[in-house]
Chain A
């Protein structure tokens, strides 16, 4: 894009790239290495980058002794429920936002931007009070509710973009061919929207899976804690005394988002709509 850079220019570029790779990559390598190190190597005076006797012991310990296993199940439950609910609630609204002109739509989209501005402290106290009033303060249901509402603005915004990418002509063609409104929605819109629905679900899943602040404040019973809260508590209690299980637990907490990110990238780049309408 910048034409042919000189030889020294190229060398400089590779040097910079190497710097980035080290900065971005080494902390990750260190986490991996710590997770697979046996206790003896963790307390070595001069730790090595590659464990000499890699072991799975830390993973076993993290998930049996530290109750991280239960926390992971809690997280899975909450995140899945949030993802499904978000999609179900956002689907009709996003269709309406994309296809009909409505002041409400503009207002809703404005709220997406506005809600970013406000720090969570302002929200969390009243939310906490509301949830306590209806008996949902220390429950997964309450947490799911918050996650859905929290993911909704962005989910709506994202999903209505997907709806808009479905050419209107396709819907019109189907109704000219005699399809009813419901049929158009079910046979034409829904299948084409599938990637968008998947993306929305993933977004909602990840934001619930990674979320920390609401879970920290709303869930008081340790048995109900989600994985981020349990991990943070682990740091607090054990300090840095038991690095192995801590690293192992952290690694496993990252896996779902990583898998989902990889999955999403592939799905989103499929470009299956490119040839539906001639330009």
Chain B
């Protein structure tokens, strides 16, 4: 927002003298913005509003199908839909699990990368690679790692003599969700690490040195110097991570397609199936609406608590 103020001061000087110029400027601005705004309006804002509206109708797939406004009927149905609640619970477990682990691991890695360690370069490169991979490829990659017969994980367990721990990681009811969460962490960690590392590099060196001179231990310096300075970055990236994770689709679609027995059926997968397998557009849109409301509510609670802590 400071940049907004900066921008205006040049215009302010000339406004009274050259109001004609200012007007032509405004026309120019709209002309410059138009090629971007038009497509966004037509293919993003309009569909979104329409999508929200669809959530209150009984729209179904197929041409020339009558669409009726049904009010809250979809949501009444949602409340009683056990499959939805199940999927919703899994979605929360997934989103919280992935976001929390992502954050803790990324913070650890960022702290390490911020030190003068050998192999730091390798770690830096490696930590970016998953980011550059298409989610579908990440899914395939981990399918290979989790493969029951030819997989890296089972072979590793065999080699270290823990043969009893071998499992069909993605096919077993008890291991499927944790296995998928690990993949989510692996895929999303790089971005979080890069953001946190950038934040760490902005933490004042002087403060650290002053604290060190005063005899603060490494842990104390981390707790009372680094963390507070990093707090805004942490809040921003964990919020974004949570949204992205809750809305993620491709990774789990490839890994398990929601199986086994719906154990990894994230809300997005559930909505996709409703819409494009069963053709229940209205119901799927209602699901989407419910997800937005829930995400916004959770974020509001989180942000408010963080704000209060900061004050």
Tell me the A residues contacting B by CB distance below 8 Å.
1-3, 5, 9, 13-14, 16-17, 20-21, 23-28, 30-31, 34, 42-44, 46-47, 49, 88-90, 92-93, 95-102, 104-106, 108, 111, 115-127, 130, 145-146, 148-150, 152-153, 156, 164, 168, 206, 209-210, 212-213, 216-217, 227-229, 231-232, 235, 240, 243, 246-247, 250, 253-254, 257-258, 260-261
Contacts and interface: CB of A to CB of B under 8 A. Distances in A.
A212 B187 CA distance: 15
A212 B47 contact: no
A49 B156 CA distance: 10
B208 A21 contact: no
B155 A47 contact: yes
Given A14-B117, A125-B285, 5 more contacts: A88-B35, A127-B43, A149-B39, A231-B140, A253-B137
A99 B291 CA distance: 37
Given A21-B122, A101-B11, A111-B40, A118 B48 contact: yes
Contact of B108 (A9, A16, A44): A16
B275 A124 contact: yes
Contacts of A209: 134
Contacts of B118: 14
The list of the 6 closest CB pairs from A to B, nearest first, reads A122-B51, A126-B47, A93-B36, A96-B32, A210-B134, A122-B288
B311 interface: no
B212 interface: yes
> Looking at B52, B114, B158, B285, which has the most chain A CB atoms within 10 Å of its CB?
B285
B198 interface: no
A119 B33 CA distance: 26
Contacts of A119: 246-247, 267-268, 271, 288, 291-292
Interface in B265-311: 267-268, 271-272, 275-276, 281, 284-285, 287-289, 291-292, 295-296
Interface string B215-254: 0001001100000000000000000100110110110011
B109 interface: yes
Interface in B128-173: 128-137, 139-145, 147, 150, 152, 155, 158
Contacts of B244: 116
Given A16-B112, A126-B54, A31 B141 contact: yes
Contacts of B142: 27
A231 B43 contact: no
Given A2-B221, A153-B40, A47 B150 contact: yes
A92 B26 CA distance: 14
A208 to B, nearest CB: 11
B250 to A, nearest CB: 4
Contacts of B50: 126
A89 B39 CA distance: 10
Contacts of B45: 111
A89 B253 CA distance: 33
Contacts of A47: 150, 152, 155
B3 interface: yes
B8 interface: yes
A1 B205 contact: yes
A16 B271 CA distance: 40
A206 B271 CA distance: 26
Contacts of B25: 100
A228 B141 contact: no
Nearest to A2: B218
A258 B236 CA distance: 26
A228 B123 contact: no
A118 B117 contact: no
Interface string B23-65: 0011011111101110110111111101110110001000000
A119 to B, nearest CB: 5
B115 interface: yes
Contacts of B295: 117
A123 B112 contact: no
A164 B3 contact: yes
